[in-house]
Amino acid sequence: MSLLNLLNTNATSMLEHVVAFTGDRMKVIASNIANIDTPQYRMRDLDAKSFDRELAGALKRSERVNANLPMVDLPSVDQVASFEASADSPDAQKLRGIVFHDDNDRSVEKLMVAMQRNADRNSQAANLLRNQVRLLRSIIAEQVNT
């Protein structure tokens, strides 16, 4: 396997997308926290289940074509924000609490749980990506030394 193919593996591409998505989702959750006292504010969230379905579908399609090709069916990492934050997404509905007298549906506890789960997913994907980079560096170092 060439070094270029090692960089273009499905796992690397998938991890890049997960890190980008969880980063964007963290921004949306932070926005919800910042607006916790804003009257009539509705909690928003990115639809993580839709993202997971698209990611799994792209992985299956790319495995059928060729295991060494990058996942071309997914948007680029810069375009992951196309998963727009919506107050109607299933994940946003889970964040909702009771509606207060100011017509805000805040739930600090649910926001903190969502933030922690998202941070855990981001951390896991980033660690796996970091391990792949270490592996690549180790391979390069071995090739230089021989």
Q: How many domains does the chain have?
A: 1
Give residues with Cβ within 8 angstroms of 1, minimum separation 6: 68
pLDDT digits (tens, 9 = 90+) for 6-65: 555 678 888 999 999 999 999 999 999 998 888 888 888 898 889 999 988 888 887 776
Evaluate the CA torsion angle 88, 114, 79, 74 in order and state its sign: negative
Distance of CA 111 to the CA centre of its chain: 17
Distance of CA 43 to the CA centre of its chain: 19
Provide the residue range defining the domain that includes 131: 3-145
pLDDT digits (tens, 9 = 90+) for 84-126: 566 666 665 555 555 555 656 667 888 999 999 999 999 999 9
Q: pTM score, two decimals?
A: 0.70
